Structure 1
Amino acid sequence: MHSSGLSPSRPKSAAPRRRSRLLRRLHEQRYLLGMSLPFVALVFVFNYVPIWGWLMAFQRYRPGRPFWEQQWVGLKNFTDLFQDETFYLALKNTLGMSLLGLLLGFTLPIIFALLLNELRAGLFKRTVQTVSYLPHFVSWVVVAGLVYRMLSTDGGPINQLITTFGGQPVQFMARSEYFWGVVVLSDLWKEIGWNTIIYLAVMTAIEPALYEAARVDGAGRWQLMRHVTLPGISRVVIILFVLSIGHLTAIGFEKQLLLSNAVVKDSALVLDLYALQNGIGMNKFSFGTAIGVVNSLVGLALLFGANAFFRRKTGDSII
């Protein structure tokens, strides 16, 4: 049997097909992409462009000199940092307050959202939700003033309650052992309502048929909460938990700065406040930058570590 002389047709290359699908998808989502461009630009300008400033950590930076005339010192700033006992104190305070805040500030908003979701009176539910997230918009300066007033030994409601039950007034703001708790509980009061919003939004997306099927099987409200609502928000909980772990060392310094005093300053020192005091307060700009670099790298390591752990356990990854 003779060949016809025609060469077999080659299959189309996969690359042009993928490129065609990509271009078609970009065209279909052109308006969405256009709306997102300003926000991507803001993130790039304010989160990625400043990274070049990390080079200061390897210099003996002097303001007023051009960048190329700065003295390069290699890892000296990092060596000095790891030999400074104050750094380890700040790291301990940062991780201690962060872990305590993660324990309370992550779990209690979920519980609060579950309870709000069970409310049937719409007006009462909306009122409670609005009142709970209003403190998010209050400045920490005002919150610090309220905390001082609430915990004052001179007519503060907390100490009045203690003395009513026969106790002695407690100087909460002058006792180092209470400082972490004061900061964490103040932050919890300020942010618990705001942190419930995303969970309530996810709960509204749970298929109502799941609740109906569970009720037919005889499930009560607690069973519905445990077997329908919690599994329905579990993926979002894991994502937010992993992101929270990545931010363990990035807790800011406003709370600690405003609520601290000379008596509790050792318990109030966190990495961001340590960097502020050295970088701007003492004009040690390179040393302060080195603190910020270490802080960011520790947070990045925690984020990737937590993501790897949950990817191994659940098979999902957020990165």
Structure 2
Amino acid sequence: MGKKKILVTGGAGFIGGNFVQYMVNKYPQYDIYNLDLLTYAGDLTKHIDIETKENYRFVKADIADRDTINVLFEKEQFDYVIHFAAESHVDRSITDPGVFVKTNVLGTQVLLDASRKINVTKFVHVSTDEVYGELDFDPTTFFTEETPINPSSPYSASKASSDLIVHSYFETYDLPINITRCSNNYGPYHFPEKLIPLTISRVLNNQKVPVYGDGKNVRDWLHVIDHCSAIDLVLHEGVKGEVYNIGGHNERTNLEVVKTIIKHLNKSENLIEFVDDRLGHDKRYAIDPTKLEKLGWIPKYNFDSGIIDTINWYLDNFEWWEKILSADYQNYFKKQYNLN
């Protein structure tokens, strides 16, 4: 009997990329397949240390390309599918919603069909707490797995749609699935358009840091390695058909996050520049991870230690993120925030 085969979609992105490394190093008895289309946020240089390992494979493909996906699944006969691949930046979903519907909804359905044909052992769909909409600022309220879906942006609506499709394949076809919904991730290899790496890179270059609105929007921050360990647990121990929320109990306002980074880098808060608020900007996200904790999950990081580790990682890996901050990205940034 051969090795178990695990397909990770979106494994050149931020969370999927960290998960690929986590699994390749932890489970030499599994063959890990990294499938990614290598769009603007996809990057394989992060996998230099594992690309020569015997249990790692890379496949370039579009999850919405049904013919290619079907051929791949028939050939490899995957045991497990961990589905990260998604368009994920809310701002981009506001300017171009169609791409999000194609990748996040149609692409997920293509993967589900292919998984059903070969009878995969488990299909884990990685989603987001943004499908729940927003919470008020009452610190005693949290998202649970029973919170109704109520998305606010084209991005979160596309993820909510894919969640419902995944669940329907469990109800209709008895496909063994789990859905995970995480809070905001941070850590190594985070694409520089997201809040934390954007702030780090701009502060280091003494550039203005854009903060939407008054900066009081609250997010629950989860270190990406804690997220990886949670998905690992759900893959192996999750009850078929169940949803698991993954949160860090690390709530901070966006302004607090930016100020923390500025303070650690010994820069001035004069770098902060408030910009027009994002359309449909949710006030607060916060997750109750009790269900996952009962399954055995224990996060390693709190935000105070995790953010320092993350800042230091960006200081140590200057070349990686500097290459990404190309002319094309600078043009996008200027258009999005009206800043240089």
TM-score bucket (shorter structure)? under 0.3
TM-score for the superposition, normalised by structure 2: 0.20
Higher share of residues assigned helix: 1
Q: Rg bigger for which structure?
A: 1
Higher share of residues assigned strand: 2
